[in-house]
Amino acid sequence: MSINKHVPVLDSLRAIAAFSVCLFHFICTVTGFIDSELVKTLFSTGHYGVQMFFVISGFVIPWSLFHSDYGIKNYFTFALKRFIRLEPPYIASLMLAIAHTYLRIMSPHYNGVDITPTTTQIALHFGYLIPFVEGQHWIRPVYWTLAVEFQYYLSIGLLFPLISHKKRLFRIVSYLILLSGPFIIKGYLPLYLPVFLFGIASFLYKSKIIEWKELLILTLAATFEIYLFHDLGTFIYVGITYIAILFFAEFKSKVLTFFGNISYSVYLFHSLTGMVILNYFSHIVTSPFYKFLLVILALAVTVFASYIVYRLIELPSKRVSSKIKFRKEVRK
């Protein structure tokens, strides 16, 4: 494999994951909007797109580190690269989310409940510290997944030398660390380590660090923990993502690639664009046909807004991050 080789199927998987979550929120979580239980059931599994993102991160981060000659000496550089790549769009969405809590007061449908965030609550969003302070909650529910991803980045940078080690004993130690997570803490990153492990396993196999026998053992171990700590929906969505990476890595779709490129922005901003439209008009629109059109409008606005964010914030952040290189060892 060439250095930093792009894996085309990841774009499609990101697109599917982002819009699965997006449609789940549009169809199933807007109070009093969709009456049909059949329609809500059809879209009810969309929230498992989050687990798809976890598998993708499980693969793509070590894949990138492996093909960039990463060493533990570059840990803080790696953390800086991830911060520059991901934080600007997140901060932009956070600022908009805060503004929206004040704008809701002016809505004719405002229910009188004070949802404006406190200074402490806002501050805790920087560094994803909400879970560590009792009584605090996320301004937008989707942010909890960013906290999991952030914890994963900090952890994988430390564990990568063990995970990618040529000697099996060192890899086994890393597997035991990852598999022990859900038994120790039942929330956030530890709970989802078996999900990330599917991505890590596919990275190890695709990078030819392990052979199929070790891949099979890892798959069975991670599957057993999915059975213990998660549900069938998680297993199905994780399995689809895992199989796609292993066997359909070169799959390409221009449409899905476009949506995959803006998927992070879609995920961050769909509740601040499309859902705002749906929440406002759900009190007005009653016809099933017009509800359908309203969902289409919400998707269109979400895509348009996300593309603007991608071009103005996310893409420049990505370019700056890519210019930061890992320090190479000087061989004597």
CA–CA gap between residue 199 and residue 232 (Å, rounded): 18
Helices (H) and strands (E) in the chain, counts: 15, 0
Q: What percentage of the chain reaches a pLDDT higher than 90?
A: 86
Residue 3 has pLDDT above 80, yes or no: no
Mention every residue, 6+ apart, whose C-beta is less than 8 A from residue 134. none
Q: Give the largest CA-CA distance in the chain.
A: 75
Contact 46/24 with Cβ under 8 angstroms? yes
**What pLDDT, on a 0 to 100 scale, did the predictor assign at position 187?**
87
Q: Tell me the C-alpha to C-alpha distance, in Å, between residue 199 and each of 47, 76, 243.
A: 19, 23, 10
Half-sphere exposure of 309 (CA within 13 A, CB side): 27
Give tens-digit pLDDT for 297-313. Answer: 999 999 999 999 999 99
**What pLDDT, on a 0 to 100 scale, did the predictor assign at position 331?**
43
CA–CA gap between residue 177 and residue 159 (Å, rounded): 9
Residue 63 has pLDDT above 80, yes or no: yes
Per-domain residue ranges for the chain?
9-323
Q: Residue 64: left if φ>0, alpha if ψ -120 to 50, beta else—which one?
A: alpha
Q: Tell me the C-alpha to C-alpha distance, in Å, between residue 316 and each of 248, 273, 278, 306, 319.
A: 30, 22, 31, 14, 5
Give tens-digit pLDDT for 44-61. Answer: 999 999 999 999 999 999
Give tens-digit pLDDT for 112-170. Answer: 566 789 999 999 999 999 999 998 999 999 999 999 999 999 999 999 999 999 999 99
CB atoms within 10 A of CB 311: 12
Q: What angle do CA 273, 276, 278 make, to 5 degrees?
A: 110
